[in-house]
Amino acid sequence: MPTLSTILLFIAATMALLVFPGPAVLYIVTRSISQGRAAGLASVLGVHVGTIFFVLATSFGLSALLAASETAFQIVKYLGVAYLLYLGVQKLWLSRATAADDNLRPPAPASLRRIFTQGVVVNLLNPKTLIFFAAFLPQFVDPARGSVTLQLVFFGVGFILLGILSDGTYALAASAIAGRLRRTAKARRRLDRSSGLVYLLLAAFAATVRQT
């Protein structure tokens, strides 16, 4: 097991990273604003279920394969870009359709299961996250303290728990702020349009990510 001082250092370093919003947080905030607290929290859980894969991949050495393969990295990256573009265009189309016809009945909100699944997919299709874990978690591992794999899993689980705490706070805050904004049809259209633009910006950001 790692020493107490190493665990405290890990917590401090992780929280310092988590307080600054990244693409996953922007996705969670966008979901929270557009559909409320439950949707935001479902997104948080989805994103961090996706993170479990990265933790296991790092712990068992799979991350090295993706980091070393330019082709695999590009395939995963552009699948992620395509998925974010799909979400963005879908939101923009919805806002345009409802604006063109005020009598058009908006579609039913996405189910929590679907939102959860989207969170998993959005996170899994970000290859940079895997490379981040491969670089970050080993910094706190001491081979003299026991199994390296178990220590990586330990710190990975710790990162997930701290991430749920941090991202959950963002989700709750965003949904609280946006609660009043969703009350009118015009406001909902604006939120859909804003959400679509955020997804497109995330897609553009993902397209610029490099392997190293």
Dihedral of alpha carbons 194, 196, 201, 206, sign: positive
pLDDT in tens, 95-129: 665 555 455 455 566 789 989 998 898 888 876 67
pLDDT in tens, 129-151: 777 787 788 888 888 888 888 88
Average pLDDT over residues 184-211: 66
Across the chain, mean pLDDT equals 78
- pLDDT for residue 66 is more than 70: no
Please give the torsion angle defined by the CA atoms of residues 124, 126, 132 and 133, in that order, rounded to the nearest 10 degrees.
Answer: 0
Maximum CA pair distance of the chain? 68
Q: Which two tokens stand for residue 119?
A: 């969170």
Nearest to 43 by CA among 56, 33, 53: 33
Instruction: Output 181-187 pairs: Cβ under 8 A, ≥24 positions apart.
Output: 181/33, 182/34, 182/36, 185/98, 185/102, 185/106
At 111, is the secondary structure helix, strand, or coil? coil
Q: Which two tokens stand for residue 5?
A: 């001082």
- pLDDT for residue 31 is more than 80: yes
pLDDT in tens, 146-177: 888 888 899 999 999 999 999 999 999 988 87
Average pLDDT over residues 41-62: 88
Residue 104 has what pLDDT?
Answer: 45
Distance (Å, rounded) from C-alpha 151 to C-alpha 73? 26
Higher confidence at residue 36 or residue 66? Answer: 36
What residue type is 68 in one-letter code? A
Task: Write the DSSP assignment of 1-63 as a string of letters.
Answer: ---HHHHHHHHHHHHHHHTS--HHHHHHHHHHHHH-HHHHHHHHHHHHHHHHHHHHHHHTTHH
Through-space distance between the first and last CA atoms of the chain, rounded to whole angstroms: 31
Do residues 45 and 207 make contact, with C-beta atoms less than 8 angstroms apart? no
- pLDDT for residue 212 is more than 50: yes
